């Protein structure tokens, strides 16, 4: 496997090899130079331009420019530039005079030409290197962001298990005391729910039918626990199928409704749960009656780990593709979640 350092060396060698071939051929065919003379001229420019480029890239820029020592950087760059221009000018002048005789360019013309040539070459090489660094930095930033998001999602998902277990076990415990026979069926539902959460929720998305089945089990378990104290209306539109959603993204809202439903003795305690799908929008509507004595206590009562968790997961996984509206009128607590299915 080729490492990043080896790959970088190969790319640099390849670039300078192409540089040699191009400029040697250019000297031979444009100025009618013999091959060895063309190779010598190209080698001279290579030494000057490569020295300037690598000294800037690995010495001047890290040591002076990146540490904001601008005057030292400018002075050092000027020295390197003068050295490179002098090298190409005074080393090539005898060769050019030998090849072209009277038609050979003068020293002043060569200085001007080499100054411009070295400057343009240096700018081009640094521009290419800067673009490459920018691309690598962007990729690294994207990778870090992706890893951060994945780590956060793993953490959020890990919080769901104890949250679910605590609520479910508490429900079964209460039910065992009230109706042991009903508790037996509830334990079977609980086993299905646990199996779903432990083994089927490891993928990014699952068929919505499985999430609905999970909700069914939870709602039936809660209906047994609540008994006649709460009237539950649960409806799933027949269109809610054949698409996928993020697992365990709906259950916190349903859990919240059963947890905070009112406990009136003189009027109805009610929970309404509706799932609909009108392409491309999938909607969950959950409403439950509440005691008006908790008006103004929404933040304190309803903002538990489960809801904050699911809000963050929605933001990460359905960013720009969902709407969540939560209202508390004092007599009714209502959630409307809309997700745009891709």
79-96 pLDDT, tens digit each:
888 888 888 777 777 766
pLDDT of residue 153: 60
Least confident of 47-51, 148-152, 262-266: 148-152
Instruction: Give me the mean pLDDT over the 219-228 stretch.
Output: 83
Mean pLDDT, residues 197-205: 81
pLDDT at 316: 85
Query: Residue 202 — φ and ψ, nearest 5°?
Result: -90, -10
Return the percentage of the chain with pLDDT > 70, whole number.
84
**Per-residue pLDDT averaged across 90-104, rounded?**
66
Domain map of the chain by residue range? 4-104, 142-340
Q: What pLDDT score does 232 carry? A: 95
- DSSP-based three-state secondary structure for 243: coil
Which of the given ranges, 184-188, 253-257, 322-326, has the highest pLDDT on average?
322-326
Highest mean pLDDT among 77-86, 118-127, 160-169, 182-191: 77-86
- pLDDT at res. 19: 84
Mean pLDDT of 241-251: 91
What is the predicted pLDDT for the residue at 3?
Answer: 64
Q: What angle do CA 295, 298, 301 make, to 5 degrees?
A: 110
At the topology level of CATH, where does 142-340 sit? Heat Shock Protein 90 (3.30.565)
Residue 177 pLDDT: 79
User: Within 13 Å, how many C-alpha atoms sit on residue 152's CB side?
Assistant: 15
Please measure the distance between the N-terminal and C-terminal CA atoms of the chain and give it in whole angstroms: 38
How many residues does the structure list for the chain? 342
Give the least confident one: 150-159, 211-220, 225-234, 271-280.
150-159
76-80, 149-153, 164-168, 169-173: range with lowest mean pLDDT? 149-153
> Averaged over 98-110, what is the pLDDT?
65
Average pLDDT, the chain: 81
- Asked if the bond preceding 280 is cis, omega within 30° of 0, the reply is yes
pLDDT for 284 equals 98
Give the Cα separation of 240 and 45 in Å (integer).
Answer: 70
With contact defined as beta carbons under 8 Å apart, do 262 and 294 qualify? no
In percent, the amount of the chain with pLDDT more than 90 equals 22
- What digits encode the pLDDT tens for the residues 249-303? 898 899 889 988 999 988 899 999 999 999 999 999 999 999 876 544 444 444 5
Residue 130 predicted with pLDDT over 60: yes
Per DSSP, the residues of 36-105 read HHHHHHHHHHHHHHHHHHHHIIIIIIIIIITTT-HHHHHHHHHHHHHHHHHHHHHHHHHHHHHHHGGGSP
- pLDDT at 298 (0 to 100): 44
Q: Are 114 and 105 in contact (CB under 8 A)?
A: no
Q: What is the pLDDT of residue 294?
A: 55
The reported pLDDT for the residue numbered 301 is 44
């Amino acid at each position: 496997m080729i490492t990043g350092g080896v790959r970088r060396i190969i790319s640099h060698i390849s670039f300078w090899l192409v540089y040699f071939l191009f400029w040697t051929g250019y000297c031979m065919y444009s100025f009618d130079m013999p091959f060895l003379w063309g190779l010598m001229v190209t080698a001279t420019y290579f030494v000057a331009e490569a020295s300037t480029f690598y000294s800037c890239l690995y010495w001047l820029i890290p040591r002076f420019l990146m540490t904001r020592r601008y005057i030292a950087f400018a002075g050092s760059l000027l020295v390197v530039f003068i050295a490179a221009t002098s090298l190409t000018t005074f080393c090539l002048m005898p060769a050019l005079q030998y090849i072209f005789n009277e038609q050979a360019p003068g020293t002043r013309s060569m200085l001007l030409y080499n100054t411009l040539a070295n400057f343009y070459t240096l700018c081009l090489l640094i521009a290419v290197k800067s673009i490459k660094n920018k691309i690598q930095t962007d990729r690294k930033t994207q990778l870090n962001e992706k890893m951060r998001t994945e780590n956060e999602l793993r953490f959020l998902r890990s919080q769901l298990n104890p949250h679910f277990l605590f609520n479910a076990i508490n429900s079964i415990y209460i039910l065992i005391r009230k109706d042991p026979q009903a508790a037996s069926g509830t334990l079977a539902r609980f086993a299905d729910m646990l199996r779903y959460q432990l083994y089927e929720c490891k993928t990014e998305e699952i068929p919505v039918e499985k999430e609905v089945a999970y909700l069914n089990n939870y709602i039936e378990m809660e209906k047994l626990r609540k008994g006649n104290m709460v009237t539950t209306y649960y409806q799933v539109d027949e269109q809610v199928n054949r698409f996928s959603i993020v697992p365990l993204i709906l259950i916190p809202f349903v859990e919240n409704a059963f947890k905070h439903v009112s406990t009136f003795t003189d009027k109805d305690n009610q929970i309404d749960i509706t799932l609909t799908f009108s392409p491309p929008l999938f909607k969950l509507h959950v409403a439950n009656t509440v005691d008006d004595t908790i008006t103004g206590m929404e933040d304190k009562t309803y903002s538990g780990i489960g809801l904050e968790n699911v809000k963050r997961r929605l933001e990460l996984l359905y960013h720009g593709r969902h709407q969540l509206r939560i209202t508390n009128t004092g007599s009714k607590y209502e959630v409307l979640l809309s997700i745009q299915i891709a």
